[in-house]
Structure 1
Amino acid sequence: MNANELRSKYIEFFKSKNHVEISGQSLIPENDPSVLFTMAGMHPLVPYLLGEKHPSGTRLTDYQKCIRTGDIEEVGDPSHLTCFEMLGNWSLGDYFKKESIAYSYEFLTSPQWLALDPKKISVTVFAGDENAPRDEEAAQIWKDNGMPEDKIAYLPASDNWWAAGPTGPCGPDTEIFYWVGEGLPPVGSNKGTDSSNWMEIWNNVFMQYNRIDEKTLLPLEKKNVDTGMGLERTNCILQGKTSVYLTEVFQPIIKTIEGLSGYTYGTDEEKDKSVRIIADHTRSSVFILGDQRGVTPDRVGAGYVLRRLIRRAVRHGMKLGIEKDFMAEIAATVIENFKGPYPELEANREKVYKELTAEEAKFRLTLKKGEAEFQKLLPNLMKNPKKIISGKVAYNLYETYGYPLELTQELGAENGFTVDVEGFKEAERKHQEASKTVDAGAAKGGLAEQSEVTTKYHTATHLLQQALVNVLGDQVAQKGSNINNERMRFDFTFERPMTKEEIQKVEDIVNEKIKEDLPVTMEVMPLDKAKAEGARALFTNKYGEDVKVYTIGRDAKSDWFSKEVCGGPHVQHTAQIGDFKIQKEQSSSAGVRRIRAVISGGLPLDK
């Protein structure tokens, strides 16, 4: 079974259990400044897990592309990935632990589906603590499904508890592991006794409590189930491979790298690591650039992560002896491999090539600047009798100029210097700790708090987009937005800077619609019907899929100003938004402009 077959079988199985397939969402979370990327399959579903009704019902399934950036420097071993796919299924107030566990076990072990050996499966459940009891219910359900007692490990909240945040929905989870050691697992072996030979493949989260404060948990009236299976890992297990890089997910990419470098993968571990980094980082960069709301390389935020991925791939390409620009060529292989399940990659092919080539060329120029900076530092370095380049100096060359440690070592050696590598690693570790705070808790967490202010900003983006179309024309299309409690950013396609008169006209239109106090209404309908009625749809959802359509206007059918397919949240009427002010209009990337705006005042939201 290959990855495409696994993805299809998963969806097919849950559709046979009355789940509705929904579209995976963008890698760039909308209106959620707490994280840079969609980091888990459940991330786009958080509003519905918190109680909002989903337009497709109470049983859902999908596949979702994800990016995790907290351990970029660890990528290069046989298992770590920056970009990965999650297969998921959800119950929103429908079934609970009994059905969820039974479905998972059936899919994994049934000859009709994955046919994995039950003897090689073990699970973990919540061990209980002062806040909540041991999850005996989940453990008993596992036993009822044939799981031996010695294959059930009871682990603490750090392993088997999920929470949306400091307060709100939370609950225990049960994680499913597969034996990747030699032969069959020994008697009594499970994740609790052997952490190295058991690989996690699935996690079922049971949201059954509402945390009121640090010491108070109350039962939820409607209990939810959120599950996620890692496609690459499960695919690797099904094929009996020792590394995800040996599966067809990565092998065509690696073959392209071999052709460019002349190196044969599998002959030298240090060079193998470089191949894996290039393969993972190029694939990740293609998915980010080719996303529906794709960002471009930048000095901050998600764009900075993208720049790091591209530049790290280029550095390792140089280590393999690739002298020419190469990432666009590898990107072509990635797009061919994944354009089936992710058609947006094909739609954005030229943009992907253009941005990768431009960033690669820019980085090669940066490396020359780094070498020049090193030469400037050399006279002072020569005064050091120990002939040691400090870790701080080496890291500043890396962080400021993108100059790799190994090149600093090479240049240093040519002049009789050694580099304080431990000092470099310490400076790097401190920087990584600072970077990781952006993603803290997001691996299992979810959206930032949807405050009144962010809800107002979100609705204002609808008014802004329509006002831009009215003033600038139909070539305007949203390319992304970012909202927090202090401001909104809105990116849109347009080839030139706006004039002062155009900016003022757009601002006036938005404020006019706010003062008219237009009602904001929502209707659930199939996507094709929404488009037929004139609704804007930023993403390409699956044909026939039910979506939420938000209309701003006196009459949703005949007298409206804005109509968009959107997930929310929204105000009930526009006077709640307040005064709208455009602070800045500037370039975001080639052919994309960015507006920064603020709002103030406004009526309180209806409760």
Structure 2
Amino acid sequence: MIANELRKAYIDFFVERGHAEIPSASLVPENDPSALFTTAGMHPLVPFLKGEPHPSGTRLVNVQKCLRTGDIDGVGDDTHLTFFEMLGNWSLGDYFKQEAIQYSFDFLTTKLGVPTDRLAISVFAGDADAPFDQESYDRWIACGIAPERIAKLGKEDNWWPAGGKNPGPQGPDTEMFYWTGAEPVPKTFDPSDKQWVEIWNDVFMEFDRQTDGTFAPLSQKNVDTGMGLERTTAVLQGKTSVYDTERFTPIIHAIEETSQTAYVTHKRSMRIIADHVRTSVMLVSDGVHPSNKDQGYILRRLIRRAVRQLHQLNDREHGIGSVVDACIETLEPSYPVLQQRQSEIQEVIAHEVAAFEKTLTKGLRAFDKLFASSGYVGGEEAFTLFSTYGFPLELTEELVREKGMGVDKEVFVAQFQKHQDISRSGSEKKFAGGLADHSDESKKLHTATHLLHQALKMVLGDHVAQKGSNITQERLRFDFSHDAKMTDDEKREVEKIVNEQIQKKLPVSFKVLSVDEAKKKNAIGLFEDTYAHIGGKVKVYTIGDAKRGVFSREICGGPHVENTGDLQAFALTKEEASSAGIRRIKAVVGDSARKALSIKNR
């Protein structure tokens, strides 16, 4: 079974059982500064796991785009990926353990034809916070799983999030394993045996961990499941590596062609290139551009790591364009928008490659000089290469390792912190569950982004489209499509329009509408990317009313204030380029806005 067949079989199975198919959320979480990327299927659904009604109902299924960079250095082995797809089904206060486990068992054994004797299970063993998961254990026994094939494990293995230390929705889980080794299959399940490969995880969310560490029961019991598409495809095909499946072989072939080298002798390098270019394609498609901060920094790092590996394969021309095309070709059946944005994706990646080529050439030359003069390149020298030439620490480390030495990272970090307070470390912040901030200030800023978006369209033109946003308690950041720097007059006009809507004290409300209804009401939203192809429902926030007129309608998950008057005032604090064709605005509301406006008016 190939990946696209598995994807379809999974969706069809759960739709037949009353689940509504919902679209994948973006790789970039909406208005959630607690995480750089969507790392799991549950991430976009946290408000609904906490009890907010979902527009599509209580039974959901989808394939979620996910990105995890914590193990980025592990990419190159058989299993590690940065971008992957997660098959998931959810029950939001609907069915619970009995049906969830039965669905999982039936899909594996009936739909996929997995023999029961090649399956093993783990369940939560229980501790001081929560009891042994007897119900899940009994259900698996009823399905025909032998007791010796069921392992009872602690929070580090059978609780989500792992360890249960982060605030937010969580609970025990049960995991399904498939025997990938030779016959005969061991009668007893040994979780430490790597030939047992995890293929599915059912999470039973019963608790809401408080910030003080206590566990409170959730208002509703939820089911959140996850099956990695790439890993399960490899298992079903009898492959030991995800890179040997049809999801990657065309990409590997493109790398062989452009580098004129063989995969069999350069597996690690080619896997890194395939993974990193594939992830870069998906990030650019979701509006991320290379930069020195946040998601843009990760994208830059991925592209540059891929270029470095091409360099090691003696591909001095860096024919990465053909690799980009191969990635788009393999993913386009699932994500048609990739073909629509192919030129943009190629342009963004090619621009970063060209910029890094200069860095790579100068940095390598400088490294050789440093090493020749002292016979050593340590933490301070590594920072000099980084700060002067933009030469990545990891590249310096690799070059030094080839000399049989090492780089003192602590010295590098100390120098970095001393001289710069920009950009993140490059590893994503761990998702702690829930939207980052539901405070009143964040709600005000969230509503302000809607006012700003509409005002920009009115002043600059209908070509303006949101390309990203980030909200903290102090300010909003809004990226939008526009080719030119805004003039002072344009900025003043945008401020004026937004403040007028605040003074009018317009009501803010939402309705759950079908895609067709939302389109008829001219709601702002990327229908072609999300709901249109599956006919889902959307949440549309409206600012204004019939009496005073509607100022804005926009697809959004919320939350927002109930009246624009709550914002008090609005002020732009910065307008700058984010990347080619993308501008970035930072703005504040409330007292901060009043102070900023007062200074401007002096």
TM-score for the superposition, normalised by structure 1 = 0.90
Asked whether the 8 Å contact 1:335–1:349 carries over to 2, the reply is yes
1:128 to 2:126 alignment: yes
Cα distance between partner residues in 2 of 1:311 and 1:304: 10
Mean alpha-carbon deviation: is it higher for 144-153 or for 1-10? Answer: 144-153
Matched letter for residue 566 of structure 2: Q
Matched letter for residue 461 of structure 2: G
Cα distance between partner residues in 1 of 2:183 and 2:413: 38
Q: Which residue of 1 aligns with 2:271?
A: 276
1:304 to 2:293 alignment: no
Matched letter for residue 439 of structure 1: E
Cα distance between partner residues in 2 of 1:513 and 1:165: 43
Pair 406,208 (structure 1): closer, same or farther in 2 beyond 3 Å? closer
Mean alpha-carbon deviation: is it higher for 242-251 or for 126-135? Answer: 126-135
1:48-197 equivalences in 2 (<5 Å) = 48-110=48-110, 113-163=111-161, 166-191=166-191, 194-197=192-195
Asked whether the 8 Å contact 1:467–1:506 carries over to 2, the reply is yes
Asked whether the 8 Å contact 1:124–1:154 carries over to 2, the reply is yes
Asked whether the 8 Å contact 2:169–2:433 carries over to 1, the reply is no
Cα distance between partner residues in 2 of 1:495 and 1:435: 27
1:439 match: secondary structure = coil
Pair 169,431 (structure 1): closer, same or farther in 2 beyond 3 Å? farther
Cα distance between partner residues in 2 of 1:185 and 1:401: 55
Of 345, 353, 356, the match for 2:346: 353
Of 214, 237, 240, the match for 1:239: 237
Q: Which residue of 2 aligns with 1:14?
A: 14
Of 325, 332, 335, the match for 1:339: 332
Pair 63,408 (structure 1): closer, same or farther in 2 beyond 3 Å? closer
Query: Residue 402 of structure 1: CA displacement?
Result: 5.3
Asked whether the 8 Å contact 2:86–2:227 carries over to 1, the reply is yes
1:224 to 2:222 alignment: yes
1:170-569 equivalences in 2 (<5 Å) = 170-191=170-191, 194-212=192-210, 214=212, 216-266=214-264, 268=265, 271-291=266-286, 294-374=287-367, 377=370, 382=373, 384=374, 387-390=375-378, 392-394=380-382, 397=385, 401=389, 403=391, 419=403, 421-423=405-407, 439-442=428-431, 445-539=433-527, 540-543=529-532, 544-555=535-546, 559-569=549-559
Query: Residue 410 of structure 1: CA displacement?
Result: 10
Instruction: Encode CA deviations 1:524-547: one digit per residue, 9 max, x unaligned.
Output: 111122011111113532332111
2:263 match: secondary structure = coil
Query: Residue 399 of structure 1: CA displacement?
Result: 7.6
Instruction: Encode CA deviations 1:437-457: one digit per residue, 9 max, x unaligned.
Output: 963543x84431322211111
Give identity over the alignment, percent: 50
Query: Residue 308 of structure 1: CA displacement?
Result: 0.6
Q: Which residue of 2 aligns with 1:589?
A: 579
Cα distance between partner residues in 1 of 2:118 and 2:390: 45
Mean alpha-carbon deviation: is it higher for 8-17 or for 491-500? Answer: 491-500
Cα distance between partner residues in 1 of 2:232 and 2:414: 34
1:172 match: secondary structure = strand
Query: Residue 406 of structure 1: CA displacement?
Result: 9.9
Instruction: Encode CA deviations 1:308-364: one digit per residue, 9 max, x unaligned.
Output: 100100110011111113222111111111112112211211111101111111111
Matched letter for residue 140 of structure 1: D
Query: Residue 370 of structure 1: CA displacement?
Result: 1.1
Cα distance between partner residues in 2 of 1:114 and 1:290: 32
Cα distance between partner residues in 2 of 1:22 and 1:212: 29
Pair 185,448 (structure 1): closer, same or farther in 2 beyond 3 Å? farther
1:48 match: secondary structure = helix
Pair 162,399 (structure 1): closer, same or farther in 2 beyond 3 Å? farther
Query: Residue 218 of structure 1: CA displacement?
Result: 3.5
Cα distance between partner residues in 2 of 1:449 and 1:238: 41
2:156 match: secondary structure = helix
Cα distance between partner residues in 2 of 1:512 and 1:494: 24
Asked whether the 8 Å contact 2:167–2:433 carries over to 1, the reply is no
Q: Which residue of 1 aligns with 2:419?
A: none
Cα distance between partner residues in 2 of 1:189 and 1:226: 24
1:389 match: secondary structure = coil
Asked whether the 8 Å contact 2:167–2:213 carries over to 1, the reply is no
Matched letter for residue 211 of structure 1: R
Instruction: Encode CA deviations 1:373-429: one digit per residue, 9 max, x unaligned.
Output: 336646xx63x5xx333355346536864547898699989xxxx846333577789
Query: Residue 597 of structure 1: CA displacement?
Result: 0.4
Instruction: Encode CA deviations 1:139-173: one digit per residue, 9 max, x unaligned.
Output: 11111111111111111112222259744432111
Q: CA RMSD in A?
A: 2.7
Pair 410,531 (structure 1): closer, same or farther in 2 beyond 3 Å? closer
TM-score for the superposition, normalised by structure 2 = 0.91
Cα distance between partner residues in 2 of 1:355 and 1:591: 11
Asked whether the 8 Å contact 1:70–1:435 carries over to 2, the reply is no
Asked whether the 8 Å contact 1:524–1:547 carries over to 2, the reply is yes
Query: Residue 201 of structure 1: CA displacement?
Result: 1.2
Cα distance between partner residues in 2 of 1:212 and 1:595: 35
Query: Residue 34 of structure 1: CA displacement?
Result: 1.0
Matched letter for residue 453 of structure 2: Q
Asked whether the 8 Å contact 1:201–1:230 carries over to 2, the reply is yes
1:3 to 2:19 alignment: no
1:600 to 2:593 alignment: no
1:422 match: secondary structure = coil
Query: Residue 295 of structure 1: CA displacement?
Result: 0.9
Cα distance between partner residues in 2 of 1:342 and 1:456: 34
Q: Which residue of 1 aligns with 2:595?
A: none
Cα distance between partner residues in 1 of 2:591 and 2:157: 44
Asked whether the 8 Å contact 1:176–1:200 carries over to 2, the reply is yes
Cα distance between partner residues in 2 of 1:399 and 1:148: 59
